[in-house]
Chain A
Amino acid sequence: MNLNLLFSLAAILVLGCVGYFVPNAGLQMFFGVILPYIAVLTFLCGVIWRVMKWAKSPVPFRIPTTCGQQQSLPWIKQNKIDNPSTTTGVIIRMFFEIFLFRSLFRNTKAEIKDGDKISYEWEIFLWVGALAFHYSFLTVLVRHLRFFFEDTLLKEKLFFVGIIETLDGFFQIGLPIVLISGFVLLAAVLFLLSRRVLNPQVKYISLAADYFPLLLIAGIAATGLWMRYIERVDVTAIKQITLGIVSFNWTSIDVMKSVSGTFYLHLFFICTLLIYFPFSKLMHAAGVFLSPTRNLANNSRMVRHINPWNPEVKVHSYESYENDFREKMIEAGLPVDKES
Chain B
Amino acid sequence: MVDVVKPEEMIKIDPTPPSTNWMDVPPDFSPGKFPYPSQAKSLEAVGFPNAREWSPADEDWKLPENWQQIIHEGFKERLDKYRSLKVFMDSCVRCGACADKCHFFIGTGDPKNMPVLRAELLRSIYRNDFTTIGKMLGKFAGARKLTPAVIKEWFSYFYQCTECRRCSVFCPYGIDTAEITMMARELLHLLGLSIHWIMDPVSNCNRTGNHLGIQPQNFKEIIEFFCEDIEEITGVTLNPSFNRKGAEVLFITPSGDAFADPGTYSFMGYLMLFEHIGLDYTLSTYASEGGNFGLFTSSEMMKRLNAKMYREAERLGVKWILGGECGHMWRVINQYMGTMNGPANFLEAPVSPITGTKFENARDTKMVHIAEFTADLIKNNKLNLDPSRNDHLKVTYHDSCNPARGMGMLDEPRFVLENVCNNFHDMPESTIRENTFCCGSGSGLNTEEIMDLRLRGGLPRANAVKYVHEKHGVNMLSCVCAIDRAVLPPLMDYWVPGVDVCGLHELVGNALVMEGEIEREMDLRMEDLPGKEGDSDE
Whether A144 is near chain B, meaning CB under 8 Å from some CB there, is: no
Q: Which residues on B sit within 8 Å (CB–CB) of A110? A: 430
User: Which residues 173-217 in B have Cβ within 8 Å of A in the complex?
Assistant: 173-176, 179, 206-209, 215-217
Q: Which residues on A sit within 8 Å (CB–CB) of B408? A: 66-70, 79, 83, 298
* Contact present for A283 and B91 (CB under 8 Å): yes
Whether A180 is near chain B, meaning CB under 8 Å from some CB there, is: no
30 A-B residue pairs with Cβ-Cβ distance under 8 Å, sorted by A, are A7-B140, A65-B174, A69-B411, A73-B359, A73-B376, A97-B174, A111-B429, A201-B111, A201-B114, A208-B140, A208-B142, A279-B131, A284-B91, A288-B91, A291-B87, A291-B91, A292-B84, A293-B175, A293-B179, A294-B173, A300-B336, A301-B364, A302-B362, A304-B338, A313-B303, A314-B47, A317-B311, A318-B312, A325-B217, A331-B217
In-complex Cβ contact of A315 among B95, B216, B311 (8 A) = B311
Q: Beyond A104-B97, A313-B303, A318-B315, is A60–B372 a contact (Cβ under 8 Å)? A: no
Residue of B nearest to A281 (CB): B93
* Contact present for A201 and B96 (CB under 8 Å): yes
Q: Which residues on B sit within 8 Å (CB–CB) of A333? A: 220
A73 to B245, CA, bound (A): 29
Q: Which residues on B sit within 8 Å (CB–CB) of A70? A: 361, 407-410
A271 to B279, CA, bound (A): 70
Whether A251 is near chain B, meaning CB under 8 Å from some CB there, is: no
User: Which residues 395-422 in B have Cβ within 8 Å of A in the complex?
Assistant: 404-412, 415
Q: Beyond A58-B81, A293-B176, is A204–B133 a contact (Cβ under 8 Å)? A: no
* Contact present for B93 and A284 (CB under 8 Å): yes
A114 to B227, CA, bound (A): 50
* Contact present for B304 and A316 (CB under 8 Å): yes
For the complex, count residues of B whose C-beta is within 8 A of A.
110
A322 to B285, CA, bound (A): 10
Q: Beyond A104-B95, A334-B285, is A109–B19 a contact (Cβ under 8 Å)? A: no
* Contact present for A59 and B411 (CB under 8 Å): no
In-complex Cβ contact of B87 among A287, A311, A313, A324 (8 A) = A287
* Contact present for B429 and A332 (CB under 8 Å): no
A300 to B331, CA, bound (A): 11
Whether B382 is near chain A, meaning CB under 8 Å from some CB there, is: no
Q: Which residues on B sit within 8 Å (CB–CB) of A315? A: 304, 307-308, 311
- A63-B84, A300-B338 known; 8 other A-B pairs, CB under 8 Å? A3-B21, A58-B81, A72-B411, A106-B169, A210-B93, A279-B131, A284-B90, A290-B87
Whether B147 is near chain A, meaning CB under 8 Å from some CB there, is: no
* Contact present for B172 and A104 (CB under 8 Å): yes
* Contact present for A204 and B111 (CB under 8 Å): yes
The interface of chain B, by Cβ under 8 A from chain A, is 19, 21-22, 47, 79-88, 90-97, 99-100, 111, 114, 116-117, 120, 131-133, 137, 140-142, 165, 168-176, 179, 206-209, 215-217, 220-221, 242-245, 285-286, 299-300, 303-304, 307-308, 311-312, 315, 333-336, 338-340, 342-343, 357, 359-365, 367, 372, 375-376, 379, 404-412, 415, 428-430, 433-435, 467
* Contact present for B243 and A57 (CB under 8 Å): no
* Contact present for A328 and B91 (CB under 8 Å): no
A330 to B42, CA, bound (A): 28
Whether A159 is near chain B, meaning CB under 8 Å from some CB there, is: no
Residue of A nearest to B78 (CB): A57
Residue of A nearest to B312 (CB): A318
* Contact present for B243 and A60 (CB under 8 Å): no
In-complex Cβ contact of A62 among B339, B359, B360 (8 A) = B339
Whether A176 is near chain B, meaning CB under 8 Å from some CB there, is: no
A69 to B375, CA, bound (A): 14
Residue of B nearest to A57 (CB): B83
A331 to B220, CA, bound (A): 12
Whether A155 is near chain B, meaning CB under 8 Å from some CB there, is: no
Residue of A nearest to B176 (CB): A293
Whether A252 is near chain B, meaning CB under 8 Å from some CB there, is: no
Distance in angstroms from A231 CB to nearest chain B CB is 33
**B-contacting 9-mer, from A14-22, A48-56, A261-269:** A48-56
Minimum-distance CB pairs A-B, first 5: A287-B91, A70-B408, A332-B217, A66-B408, A293-B174
Distance in angstroms from B168 CB to nearest chain A CB is 4
Q: Which residues on A sit within 8 Å (CB–CB) of B99? A: 201-202, 205
User: Which residues 289-309 in A have Cβ within 8 Å of B in the complex?
Assistant: 290-294, 298-307, 309
Q: How many A-B residue pairs have CB under 8 A?
A: 303
* Contact present for B165 and A54 (CB under 8 Å): no
Q: Which residues on A sit within 8 Å (CB–CB) of B299? A: 60-61
Whether A13 is near chain B, meaning CB under 8 Å from some CB there, is: no
A59 to B404, CA, bound (A): 22
Q: Which residues on A sit within 8 Å (CB–CB) of B359? A: 73
For the complex, count residues of A whose C-beta is within 8 A of B.
99
User: Which residues 19-49 in A have Cβ within 8 Å of B in the complex?
Assistant: none
Q: Which residues on B sit within 8 Å (CB–CB) of A115? A: none
- Max chain B CB contacts within 10 Å: which of A65, A101, A298, A300? A65
- Max chain B CB contacts within 10 Å: which of A7, A77, A293? A293
User: Which residues 116-175 in A have Cβ within 8 Å of B in the complex?
Assistant: 126, 130
In-complex Cβ contact of A334 among B80, B82, B216 (8 A) = B216
Q: Which residues on A sit within 8 Å (CB–CB) of B169? A: 65, 67, 103, 106
Q: Which residues on B sit within 8 Å (CB–CB) of A337? A: 315
Q: Beyond A291-B174, A301-B364, A302-B362, is A82–B434 a contact (Cβ under 8 Å)? A: yes
Whether A85 is near chain B, meaning CB under 8 Å from some CB there, is: yes
* Contact present for A54 and B84 (CB under 8 Å): no
* Contact present for A112 and B91 (CB under 8 Å): no
* Contact present for B81 and A309 (CB under 8 Å): yes
* Contact present for B363 and A63 (CB under 8 Å): no
Whether A329 is near chain B, meaning CB under 8 Å from some CB there, is: yes
Residue of B nearest to A59 (CB): B83
- Max chain A CB contacts within 10 Å: which of B47, B99, B339? B339
In-complex Cβ contact of B86 among A53, A293, A309, A335 (8 A) = A53
Distance in angstroms from B85 CB to nearest chain A CB is 8
* Contact present for A303 and B133 (CB under 8 Å): no
Distance in angstroms from A121 CB to nearest chain B CB is 14
* Contact present for B217 and A65 (CB under 8 Å): no
A195 to B94, CA, bound (A): 11
Q: Which residues on B sit within 8 Å (CB–CB) of A288? A: 91, 172-174
In-complex Cβ contact of B84 among A56, A59, A71, A85 (8 A) = A59
Q: Which residues on B sit within 8 Å (CB–CB) of A3? A: 21
Distance in angstroms from A340 CB to nearest chain B CB is 15
A9 to B238, CA, bound (A): 76
Q: Which residues on B sit within 8 Å (CB–CB) of A79? A: 408
* Contact present for B174 and A302 (CB under 8 Å): no
Whether A247 is near chain B, meaning CB under 8 Å from some CB there, is: no
Q: Which residues on B sit within 8 Å (CB–CB) of A300? A: 334-336, 338-339, 364-365
A176 to B79, CA, bound (A): 53
Q: Which residues on A sit within 8 Å (CB–CB) of B173? A: 284, 287-288, 291, 294
Distance in angstroms from B332 CB to nearest chain A CB is 10
In-complex Cβ contact of A63 among B179, B242, B409, B435 (8 A) = B179
Residue of B nearest to A298 (CB): B408
Whether A248 is near chain B, meaning CB under 8 Å from some CB there, is: no
Q: Beyond A72-B361, A201-B96, A205-B117, is A65–B405 a contact (Cβ under 8 Å)? A: yes
A9 to B103, CA, bound (A): 35
A331 to B217, CA, bound (A): 8
- Max chain B CB contacts within 10 Å: which of A85, A205, A315? A205
Whether A107 is near chain B, meaning CB under 8 Å from some CB there, is: yes
Q: Which residues on B sit within 8 Å (CB–CB) of A209? A: 133, 140-142
Q: Which residues on A sit within 8 Å (CB–CB) of B81? A: 57-58, 60, 309
Q: Which residues on A sit within 8 Å (CB–CB) of B116? A: 205
* Contact present for A57 and B362 (CB under 8 Å): no
